[in-house]
Structure 1
Amino acid sequence: MTARTADARAALPPVLAEALAGYEEHLRTQRDLSEHTVRGYVGDAVWLLDHLVRRGGTRVDDLDLATLRSWLAQGRTRGAGRATTARRAAAARSFTGWLRRAGLTAEDVGLRLVSPKAQRTLPDVLAPDQARVVVESAAGAEEPVGLRDAVVLELLYASGIRVSELVGLDVDDVDRGRRLLRVLGKGRKERSVPYGVPAERALDAWLTRGRPALATERSGPALLLGLRGGRLDAREVRRTVHAAVAAAPGAPDIGPHGLRHSAATHVLEGGADLRSVQELLGHASLATTQIYTHVTVERLRAVHAQAHPRA
């Protein structure tokens, strides 16, 4: 939560602050959401309640459809895009739904709130030769950090896992005999994800020569370690990926999520079915995975336009 949002929360009337605290507790304990998601939902609720107060409201049952709509409209006038507006509307509906279930309001006014659907943009992906340059950029390293970076790049591209899932891996989560990762994804859902021979070689080098050199008492079971021996931070992973991508000629500026997009796209182009890719990525809905079919179709159209004499 930003300092500005924290100040807005501190300025809320006690009755609104109490309701917000109850909502936050619900998100943490009953919905079991990630810390990042909780911060996002609570932050949006803070600004919704701040808007309510500025309109003269003092209690949560002062929230009405007009207040929700004017809050979204205010965001649009300040430059919020369709995706941001759609996210805020979803957060508002989550909050008003909880207020009704908690008995704090007589009705769920968010049920009638309509928001624009977020436009789904095609993600930037690496070409297969660019991906090879990226994942091999740390190959041959002998110092501990270089060995770790090689594992980071290989595993992200080989498995398509999220950066949060990568840094959350413990040593025991790696089944080297079957080349599988036990991953704890969104909603704390566990899945097994395969990885290939190059990633196994990088893992072997890291576990035999890299990790022992960085491990300290604070390392615990973490698979990937930072310079001081603690669990590797996601920000360091992002720096590693951006640096590796920058060295690949013509590659788009992508981070760890871009490697995930690239892995999914290349697996689909290699002949995998959409349901298998859904399992690989840990998507709850097949509709989320379907964006990758658009990526591959667009790439096919681009190749056709460039190569076909009558395109």
Structure 2
Amino acid sequence: MIGIGIIGAGHFGAVHARAIAATGGLRVAAICREDAAAARAFAREHGGNAHTDWRAVLDDPAVDAVVIATPHHLHAEMAVAAARAGKHILLEKPMAPTPAECDAINAASAEADIRLMVGHVMHFARPCLVAKEILDSGTLGRPVLGSSWMIKLWMEANRRPWHLSHATGGGMLMTAGIHALDRLVWLMDGEVAGVSALSGTWFHRQEADDSALMLLRFTDGRIGQVASIGYRDGAVSFAMDLVCEGGTLRIDFDNGVAIGRGGSWSPIAHSADPDWMQRAVEAEWRAMAAAIEANAPVPVDGAYARHLIACLEAASRAHAEKREIRLAG
């Protein structure tokens, strides 16, 4: 039985705890939350030793692997320490606020020879997996242009002060819009060479962005666009269109996947899942367990996750300098 330590036993830590409980061969061994009473309550519900210091989770002999679900600016210090402690890591997205911090995490993980997976949950969501199967089959040819968007309420109940400042890794693009970026880069199946962007804060009084538009140029010349918008009031829209060589493909989390040909859309049966988030996190943990027990490759590794952060860093520069930013390498 693999013992899991939850560093960041809050809103999404509970999602992970339920997924761990649903995954054979895993158990919650320890949890960490700064509020001692809240930590004890979390442990009573989900199991494990309750700690108020994340370092105590790494020192806990019952812990073989950790999930880090803390504020973004804390990821690098915690992940590097976890690797050096010999713990396997499922690191929530974004990997870290800067490429340099991602490099430090990747280096520590490689040196310690531990398994590192970054929690980009789109890679496990049913609509995206159905779309990936269609693309891999070749029936639509290669995607040439893509458009991916995340338009949602920004001030949700779990929003915290650290979400509102770039200094702590906040902002709509880093927090939620990164899902739209990830989905596009993954399904376009290519590396980004250049980024143009516009961003701002139009709906809220905060330092970090609540809205951004990105234009991506892939290394082979294909293009994509990303919209990340955190509104004050509205209705969620979280979808994606791919224009392929032989047709169009739409991914809609409310209605599932549809193929466009001959001027009409054909829906794909059973491609939507009302409970997709919980099921996707459970699939993440099944993949993590396989990586630990059978040395299987992780579906989302540190190099890929670092590339997304490089895209976001380029977007910030592109907005500030009013030009396309080329990615290094």
TM-score band w.r.t. shorter chain: under 0.3
TM-score by length of 1: 0.26
Higher relative contact order (CA 8 A, sep 6+): 2
